[in-house]
Amino acid sequence: MIDHFSIAAPVYDRVLGPPDTRRILRLLRLPARGMLLDAGGGTGRVSGHLQGRVGGIVVTDLSRPMLEKARRKGLTAVSAPAECLPFPDGSFDRIIIVDALHHFRCQHGAIAEMSRVLKPGGRLLVEEPDLRRMSVRAVALAERLLRMDSRFYPPDAIVGMMRQSGMSASVAATDIFRAWITGDKPGQPGSEAYRRQV
Ligand SMILES: C[S@@+](CC[C@H](N)C(=O)[O-])C[C@H]1O[C@@H](n2cnc3c(N)ncnc32)[C@H](O)[C@@H]1O
C-alpha cells in the first residue's frame, strides 16, 4: 500500500498552507488551560499555530515522517492510530481532527475513541471537506483513483457519530469546501462545565 503522507511530508506544509487559526480558536473556545490532542495531526500544520493557547499539545498520527515535522515544531508527537489511542480516559480538554477523519480506517471507532479520551466538559472539533459539495465529491473520486482508501461522510453523519458516542454535537460552520463539526462531552454533575450546560 502506498504511504501517501510519508511521501508528501517534506512539502506538506508548503503545499497546504497555514490553517484558518482564528476560526479554529473560536470554535475550540481557546485559549484554555489543559491539554489539546491533534488526532491525525500530521506535521502539526494546524496545532503548531495553537501553541501558547493551551497548556500542552500532543499530535498523534501514523506517518513517522509527518510526526518528525511536528516534533521539530516543539510539539509532542506520538505514533498511534486514531481508533486506539495510548492515553487514559479523560486525558484531553480539547481535540481537533482536521482534514483527517476521512483518512482513518474506522470513522465511528475514531470518534468513539475521541469521546473516551476527552475530559467531561471537553470539546472535539472536526474539520472535514463537505461531501454535499460537488467539488468535494470530485476530490473523493480523485483520492479513490490515487488508492487513498478515503471514506468521506457528510456533516450530519459526523454529528450522528458524535451523538452515538455520548456527545452533544452540531455543524458549527461551513464554507464552500469545508464543514466544522463540534462535539461536547457532558460535564460531571457539580462541575463548572456541568453548570454551563444546565
Ligand atoms: C490530510 S492529512 C491532515 C494532517 C493535519 N491534520 C493537517 O490538517 O495538516 C491526514 C493525516 O491523517 C493521518 N492518518 C491516516 N490514517 C490515520 C489513522 N488511522 N490514525 C491516525 N492518523 C491517521 C495521515 O498519516 C495524515 O498525516
pTM (two decimals):
0.96
Q: What's the pLDDT score for residue 166?
A: 98
Q: Tell me the C-alpha distance between 82 and 60, whole Å.
A: 7
Q: What's the pLDDT score for residue 195?
A: 66
* CATH at residue 75: 3.40.50.150
For the stretch 38-63, pLDDT in tens is 999 999 999 999 999 999 999 999 99
In a domain, 102, yes or no: yes
Cis previous bond, 31, omega within 30: yes
Q: Is the CB of 125 under 6 A from ligand 1?
A: no
* pLDDT over 90, % of the chain: 93
pLDDT tier for residue 2 given thresholds of 50, 70 and 90: confident
For the stretch 130-174, pLDDT in tens is 999 999 999 999 999 999 999 999 999 999 999 999 999 999 999
In a domain, 101, yes or no: yes
In a domain, 192, yes or no: no
| Ligand 1 atom 12: residue of nearest CA | 40
Q: Which of 28, 37, 60, 61 to mutate to test the pocket of ligand 1 (most atoms within 8 A of CB)?
A: 61
Q: What's the pLDDT score for residue 191?
A: 73
Q: What's the pLDDT score for residue 188?
A: 76
In a domain, 191, yes or no: no
Domain interval for residue 49: 4-186
For the stretch 78-116, pLDDT in tens is 999 999 999 999 999 999 999 999 999 999 999 999 999
Domain count for the chain: 1
In a domain, 111, yes or no: yes
| Ligand 1 atom 13: residue of nearest CA | 40
Q: Is the CB of 149 under 6 A from ligand 1?
A: no
